[in-house]
Amino acid sequence: MEISCLLNEIKASIRYENQIVHIEETPARDACYAPLELEVRIKAALSGTGIEALYSHQAEAIEKVREGKDLVLCTSTASGKSLTYMIPVFEAVLKDPEATSLYISPLNALVNDQLKAFLEFEGALNSGAGIARYTGALSADQKRKIRDGKTNIVFTNPEMVHMSFLAWHHLWRRFFSNLRFIVVDESHYYRGVIGSNMANVLRRLLRVAEYYGASPQFICCSATIGNPEDHTETLLGREAVVVENNGSLQGPQKFVFWNPPLYMNGRGCTVRRSSFSEASALFTRAVQAGLQTLAFTRSRQGVERMYRTCMELLRDRELPSAICPYRSGYFDREREEIERKMNSGELRGVISTNALELGIDIGGLDVCILDGYPGTVMSARQQAGRAGRSGNESLVLMVAGTNALDQYYMRNPADFFARSSENAVLNPKNPYILAGHLLCAAKEIPLRESDEKYFGGGYSRVVELLEAEGLLAGSDMKYSTDPFPYKQVSLRGIDNNTYSLLAFEGERSFPIEKDIEETLAFRECHPGAVYIHRGESFYINRIDHEKREIHAIKTHDSYYTKPMIDSSVVVQETYAAKPLLHAPEVEVGLGEVEVTDRIAGYRKIRTHSDETMSAHEIEMPPITLQTVALWLKLPDRLQEMIGDHKLDFAGGIHAVEHAIISMYPLHLLVDRSDVGGVSTPSHPDLGSKSGIFIYDGHRGGVGYAEKGYDLIEEVLELSLIHISEPTRRRGISYAV
């Protein structure tokens, strides 16, 4: 079915209530090619794979690489970024059969994709290059053969760089000595905690390579972000040039803004229908129309709930097996099987978290559905770019949720399309992160004072602290006293506290998921919770904190659960304070805080109606977080004024807190789950005045609070625009 026919059918259906508020039509774009001098064999190999000319951005990027510059290429999904490193890598091998290159991807699925592409190209080129994948799935013997053999090009992930290439660098002596290129694919992924960790991994990698006499170039490939040069230079610790003029072919696309309708609920309140139910209905309609469809939803359990709902809707039409869920937490073999089925066309639809946002090859998609605005313009464009990869017409449906930012864009669609992508933030100097990497670096090669050139300002201070704690020893050369410090560093989350989920059938148990982060485990896998995996419900009956195991049994309950969380914050140190520009009575602060979250209970919510069935109290250990926050210290006059109007002050500042968090991603490339908030009518650390805290959701902070402090006027201005609407309660507007 054609896209226009599908839209017409949707508009003609009885469920349509003018949900479409805007359609942005992007016309097809012709390819722009550019000449590039290529070695005869490479030109023939390209021709053999169907490539007769290079896009302009590919040619420009390769020229920059040939000039010896570190590079970041920022173009859209499916723009052929891989050729910009494939050609230089093979050129290096043709010139020097000993030359080596290291490709690093955040996902093993991308490792597999690129391995396949390189092997196909090598089949046409016949350069003699040894090409291999090096991941945790390999046996010890397979890994040894790659290290000891004549391997020129290795595809791997950050964890293997950290735990193998660096921890056992003496086994990679030949590879490091001849290292020409380090390819960092999907480099925009490296922001926040994973970005701060990856920046230190790359500094250690460069340090070891230079120890063996190599001087590798970096080639980074990124989605379009607001600060590609600054982000890349912070990630690499050195200068980089940016190539961002996209010359690739693009098919026409319709981008639909879909706002669920309002209705009167059972309590007589006007509410908006959930994005979940609307997105589920649109997904099943597109699948029924024979269009290959991908739906994105924000949470792992949201994926499971939508999959189960859509499976029930499609069962009557004998299509339930044509769709599948996809998210982190599944085992590698499960995810690879789903990717294979999607690529082959065996699956008509997949429901995913942002795990499929990156450039994994899953074939040509016709329709992409976003269950809620994904939080950033960059993510929305990345997800939308998954549709129409074959150059045909595609459809994107962004279904709005009820939060501030979703509704802001439904009212201001032109702002979405005019807005530049957000800035990506990372903080390699975070002392909690840097300390772990310095211990690893000291294990690799003893640390010297001159190593500050790799790790930057703050290096000496962290070294002193590690010495004081007895973790580093030595005088001019510092050694790690831990025989293997690598296990203490978790690249994707600062803490290593993860849980495994086990399903029990009588006396037997079997693993369902692994590496569930502590915070997620407490929120979604507490006793009494219903947890969904591959469409099946499991009742959590026990959590063993010593063994870090979650015990579950299958259930057929027709409800899901949501945690009730109590949060508190204590200011430990104030870094900076300033008056708010347009309201000097309000003091804006920035500093170190301790946040304590406690799961106080949970609600049972009926699956199909989203009505609360009951609430239950539970006892769970508290989770504490040492981090950085910004806060607004509010004047007494504000509380008195709102009290005079008989309005809810506590509810008003709580709504402002949520509005600020919702609007935060307009300025930074940050997921809404990366920042948290606490509001209180009276706080002892603010002189008993009322306050709103917005804190970085990662231990030690990764720069989100500092950026928010710098941009607080802009954040508040957009929050005010949203909550000053006539449909909002006046108390909230007064609070702002």
Percentages helix, strand, coil for the chain (3-state, rounded to 5) are 40, 30, 30
pLDDT grade, residue 725 (50/70/90)? low
In CATH, what class is 3-27+250-418?
Answer: alpha beta
Q: Is the pLDDT of residue 283 over 90?
A: yes
Higher pLDDT, 365 or 413: 413
Beta bridge partners of 101: 153, 181
In the Cβ-directed half-sphere of 300, how many Cα atoms lie within 13 Å?
A: 18
Cβ contact 689:635 at 8 Å: yes
- What are the structure tokens assigned to 122, written together? 């090598």
- Least confident window among 39-43, 120-124, 580-584: 580-584
What pLDDT is recorded for position 386?
Answer: 85
DSSP letter assigned to residue 260: P
- Least confident window among 48-57, 269-278, 595-604: 269-278
Higher pLDDT, 432 or 96: 96
What pLDDT is recorded for position 267?
Answer: 76
Q: Per-residue pLDDT averaged across 570-596, rounded? A: 94
Q: What is the β-pairing status of strands 71-74 and 241-243?
A: parallel
Burial state string for 359-373 with b = 16 or more CB within 10 A and e = fewer than 16: bbbbebbbbbbbbbb
- What are the structure tokens assigned to 380, written together? 């929305």
What pLDDT is recorded for position 59?
Answer: 97
Backbone angles phi, psi at 551, to 5 degrees: -105, 135
- What are the structure tokens assigned to 287, written together? 């699948």
- What are the structure tokens assigned to 361, written together? 């090859």
Is 2.40.240.10 the CATH classification of the domain at 498-557? yes
Q: Is the pLDDT of residue 732 over 60?
A: no
The model's pLDDT over 602-616, given as tens digits with 9 standing for 90+, comes to 999 988 778 899 999
What pLDDT is recorded for position 388?
Answer: 78
Q: Is the pLDDT of residue 729 over 50?
A: no
- What are the structure tokens assigned to 97, written together? 């059969």
- What are the structure tokens assigned to 178, written together? 């001849």
pLDDT grade, residue 734 (50/70/90)? very low
- What are the structure tokens assigned to 393, written together? 């017409």
Higher pLDDT, 357 or 233: 233
pLDDT grade, residue 574 (50/70/90)? very high
What pLDDT is recorded for position 78?
Answer: 79
What pLDDT is recorded for position 727?
Answer: 43
Mean per-residue pLDDT of the chain: 90
pTM for the full predicted model: 0.83
What pLDDT is recorded for position 333?
Answer: 82
What pLDDT is recorded for position 193?
Answer: 86
- Choose the CATH number for 33-243 among 3.40.50.300, 3.30.470.10, 3.30.70.260, 3.30.460.10: 3.40.50.300
What pLDDT is recorded for position 182?
Answer: 98
What pLDDT is recorded for position 362?
Answer: 67
pLDDT grade, residue 451 (50/70/90)? very high
What pLDDT is recorded for position 609?
Answer: 76
> Could you tell me which residues come within 8 angstroms of residue 62 by beta carbon, excluding any fewer than 6 positions away?
36, 54, 83, 84, 87, 88
Q: Is the pLDDT of residue 370 over 50?
A: yes
335: enclosing H helix or E strand:
helix 332-344
Q: Is the pLDDT of residue 195 over 90?
A: yes
Q: Is the pLDDT of residue 736 over 50?
A: no
- % of the chain residues with pLDDT over 70: 96
What pLDDT is recorded for position 730?
Answer: 40
DSSP letter assigned to residue 668: B
Q: Is the pLDDT of residue 494 over 70?
A: no
Closest Cα partner for 652 from 566, 587, 734, 569?
Answer: 734
Q: Per-residue pLDDT averaged across 81-87, rounded? A: 96
Q: Per-residue pLDDT averaged across 449-460, rounded? A: 94
> Could you tell me which residues come within 8 angstroms of residue 30 by beta carbon, excluding any fewer than 6 positions away?
249
- What are the structure tokens assigned to 456, written together? 């930057």
Q: Per-residue pLDDT averaged across 469-475, rounded? A: 94
> What CA–CA distance (Å, rounded) separates 664 from 660?
6
What pLDDT is recorded for position 181?
Answer: 98
> Could you tell me which residues come within 8 angstroms of residue 440 by beta carbon, excluding any fewer than 6 positions away?
162, 166, 167, 204, 480, 485, 486, 489
Q: Is the pLDDT of residue 685 over 50?
A: yes
Q: Is the pLDDT of residue 361 over 80?
A: no
